[in-house]
Amino acid sequence: MEKKRLYIELENCIGCRSCLAACTQCGGHEQKNRNYVYDVNPLVNRQTMPLMCLHCVDPACARSCPAQAIQIHETGAVLSALTEKCIGCQNCTIACPYGIPKFDEEENLMYKCDLCIDRTKDGIPPMCASVCPSNTLQWLTEEEIAEKQQMHDLGNDKWVTSMPYLEGETNVKVNLPGILQGTTKLF
Amino acid sequence: MEETNVKVSKNSINNAFASHFAKSMFLAVSGIVILSFIGTRMFTHVDLNLYGYMVGTIVFLGGFFYRFIAWGERPPTKIIIKKGIKLLFRKSTPKTSAEHLATYRFIWNRGIYRWTQHVLIGWGCIVSCFVTFPLVFGWMYFTMAESGYYTIVFMGINLMTVPADGIIAFFSYNALNFSAISVIIGVCMALYRRLKNMQARADQNFLYDFMPLYLLLIISVTGLILTFMNVFLHGAGHYAMSLIHQYSVIVTLIYLPFGKLAHIPFRPLSVFARNYREHYGEKSMKECKVCGTGFVSTEQSNDVIDVLGKNDMEFNMKDGFNLAELCLPCRRKYRIARFSGFETHKVPVKEANQNAKG
């Protein structure tokens, strides 16, 4: 089974929030979604962008956890806190450079995107990527991501996936908006 | 371990020990020996039938200290433990402890079924530990000076004399039977949930999630069989079964600090964490560098920055703040801003509802 990654093409997002709804329906998610969709310039236009856990190679949340409750799966996914270990200190929410982990005060428990580990460990795309109607969220092999990278690389330092635009190496690859690069997409 | 940043005075007691581990082990074993010396009236009432459990407990202590000292050396853990101990005598500590460690209120909020199974297993185990270990180390034993009356001796003191067929005696003999039944019901509920609940099935595995349950089940069932053999079979097979029971307990005990059951000794940290958040939250709240709302205590924000620094992570932005100084919505908007080039976090609009209804 070839290793696939979540790949986010930000400017495709149409703000339908299907990914949020789908997230609630994943086996291990207890009907609570773990991803976000933001208006880029809410008072002016309708452009939206999704934001979700980027699954850092060296995750700050796990580093800051006093209870070692945040485990990293062999696929590279950074998992939700183990229910029996999480002590509810919320260090992870402060440490995460992207503000991803959510905290349930009632249950005294942190929860976050686990890349639908019950699906992705068997090579099935995560819920959000399965339902995304605009190809914002894609589930791609390394070669396909390399191809995308080439396609969007304009050689003017304005491109594309992830580093150096993020705070560290991540397992999820993000493609910065083509709009900034002056490319127009045909759907 | 501490030498680098703490000045140890020349005559400090710590110099007597090669390591933190050696010191903990020495103190724990000495404590047990002294308590047993008092409890057994100078070793005259040791129940040697239970010596296997004694050895098992000492081995358990070795694993326990190894695991937890290593864990306590992690930078974030160290901070919580240090500040947690300092804040231990807050007014709210008894209430928080009761809710976190005795009534498991947070598990109630995760579901009544899970709460029921956890109370049955948890309290079953606590009761059996409170009965077993005093018996093993001779802190508690029974004598019969007068026929038909048991004297309960606790720490070498005659606590009370009860009729051998009375109600207190009945509950003393059967405490372990009741706790075994409670654990068996709880474990069966947990197993049923793990087999049927799609959510549990999503990320469980045999060794981490099922094995501890089976270990507890084996202990409880063999313990009950022991009672059954004595009451109904005139003790037939008692010795073989008592060895099986003993092995199952010792294996579980030694495994305890290394698997899922490790949350038992380490869970009190959640009280530390709650005190830490409440105390420093009352002192001063960190105001978000973008929107100005207080979102976490200044202390915790600084501690997290400090811990991340120890892990070679610096999230200092060119815009003049550390990411741990932004509230969560602003931090997310700031990321969108980095993606798009437009300063989303500076638009004074509350983030849209991000919680989908499932």
ipTM of the complex, rounded to two decimals: 0.91
Domain count, chain A: 1
Q: Tell me, what CATH number does B141's domain have? A: 1.20.950
Beta carbons of A118 and B324 less than 8 Å apart = no
**A63 in a domain, yes or no?**
yes
CB B323 within 8 A of CB B331: yes
A152/A60 Cα distance (integer angstroms): 29
B279 touches chain A (CB under 8 A): no
Q: Are residues B52 and B174 in the same domain?
A: yes
pLDDT in tens, B267-312: 999 999 999 999 999 999 999 999 999 999 999 999 999 999 999 9
Q: Residue A110 sits in which domain range? A: 4-181
pLDDT in tens, B24-46: 999 999 999 999 999 888 888 88
A10 touches chain B (CB under 8 A): yes
**B36 in a domain, yes or no?**
no
B325/A94 Cα distance (integer angstroms): 8
Query: What Å distances lie between residue B238 and B116, B137, B170, B223, CA to CA?
Result: 33, 22, 21, 11
B 51-70 near A (Cβ less than 8 A): none
Shortest Cα–Cα distance, B248 to chain A (Å): 23
Domain count, chain B: 2
B351 touches chain A (CB under 8 A): yes
Cα dihedral B195→B201→B203→B206 (10° resolution): 30
Beta carbons of A17 and B274 less than 8 Å apart = no
B348 touches chain A (CB under 8 A): no
Query: What Å distances lie between residue A173 and A55, A139, A148, B111, B344, CA to CA?
Result: 9, 10, 11, 36, 21
Q: Are residues B239 and B118 in the same domain?
A: yes
Taking one residue from A and the other from B, the number of pairs with CB-CB distance under 8 angstroms is 181
* Contacting residues of B for A24, CB less than 8 Å apart: 356-358
* Contacting residues of B for A46, CB less than 8 Å apart: none
Q: Are residues B133 and B249 in the same domain?
A: yes
pLDDT in tens, B86-120: 999 999 999 999 999 999 999 999 999 999 999 99
B 79-108 near A (Cβ less than 8 A): 79-81, 100, 106-107
Q: Tell me, what CATH number does A31's domain have? A: 3.30.70.20
Strand partners, B294: B287
Give the one of A32, A63, A118 whose C-beta lies nearest to B311's C-beta.
Answer: A63
Q: With CA atoms as reference, report the closest residue to A53 among A86, A81, A88.
A: A81
Query: What Å distances lie between residue B337 and A105, A135, B172, CA to CA?
Result: 29, 21, 67
Last residue of a domain, one of B270, B304, B321: B270
**A186 in a domain, yes or no?**
no
Give SS3 for B145.
Answer: strand
One digit per residue, pLDDT tens: chain A, 187 residues? Answer: 788 999 998 888 999 999 999 999 988 888 899 999 999 888 888 889 999 999 999 999 999 999 999 999 999 999 999 999 999 999 999 999 999 999 999 999 999 999 999 899 888 999 999 999 999 999 999 999 888 877 776 665 555 566 667 888 889 988 876 555 555 555 4
DSSP B316: B
**B13 in a domain, yes or no?**
no
Q: Are residues B233 and B310 in the same domain?
A: no
**A156 in a domain, yes or no?**
yes
In sign, the C-alpha dihedral spanning A25, A28, A29, A30 is: positive
Last residue of a domain, one of B238, B270, B302: B270
**B38 in a domain, yes or no?**
no
Beta carbons of B301 and A114 less than 8 Å apart = no
Q: With CA atoms as reference, report the closest residue to A59 among A68, A46, A49.
A: A68
**B163 in a domain, yes or no?**
yes
pLDDT in tens, B127-153: 999 999 999 999 999 988 888 899 999
**A187 in a domain, yes or no?**
no
Residue A91 burial (C-beta neighbours within 10 Å; 0-12, 13-18, 19+):
buried
Residue in chain A closest to B349 (alpha carbons) equals A42
Helices vs. strands in chain B: H and E counts, helices first? 14, 5
Q: Are residues B162 and B219 in the same domain?
A: yes
Query: What Å distances lie between residue B247 and A105, B142, B177, B250, B251, CA to CA?
Result: 41, 25, 18, 5, 6
**B2 in a domain, yes or no?**
no
B26 touches chain A (CB under 8 A): no
Beta carbons of A91 and B199 less than 8 Å apart = no
Q: What angle do CA A126, A130, A136 make, to 5 degrees?
A: 100
Residue in chain A closest to B313 (alpha carbons) equals A60
pLDDT in tens, B71-84: 999 999 999 999 99
Q: Are residues B253 and B304 in the same domain?
A: no
**A75 in a domain, yes or no?**
yes
* Contacting residues of A for B329, CB less than 8 Å apart: 99
Q: Are residues B177 and B119 in the same domain?
A: yes
Q: Is the peptide bond before B183 cis (omega within 30 degrees of 0)?
A: no
**B62 in a domain, yes or no?**
yes
Residue B9 burial (C-beta neighbours within 10 Å; 0-12, 13-18, 19+):
exposed
B351/B358 Cα distance (integer angstroms): 20
Q: What angle do CA B219, B222, B226 make, to 5 degrees?
A: 130
Q: What angle do CA B74, B266, A75 make, to 5 degrees?
A: 60
B336/A79 Cα distance (integer angstroms): 23
Give the one of B331, B356, B357 whose C-beta lies nearest to A99's C-beta.
Answer: B331
A23 touches chain B (CB under 8 A): yes
Last residue of a domain, one of B242, B270, B298: B270
Most A CBs within 10 A among B272, B336, B344, B355, hence the mutation to make, goes to B336
Q: Residue B71 sits in which domain range? A: 46-270
B 242-271 near A (Cβ less than 8 A): 260, 263, 266-267, 269-270
Which two tokens mark B230? 């004595």
Q: Are residues B229 and B117 in the same domain?
A: yes
DSSP letters spanning B147-215: TTEEEEEETTEEEEEEETTSHHHHHHHHHHHHHHHHHHHHHHHHHHHHHH-HHHHHH--IIIIIHHHHH
A13/B231 Cα distance (integer angstroms): 71
CB A172 within 8 A of CB A185: no
**Where is B244: in which H helix or E strand?**
helix B238-255
Q: Are residues B256 and B299 in the same domain?
A: no
* Helices assigned H by DSSP within chain A: 18-24, 60-64, 91-95, 117-120, 127-131, 142-152, 178-181
Shortest Cα–Cα distance, A133 to chain B (Å): 17
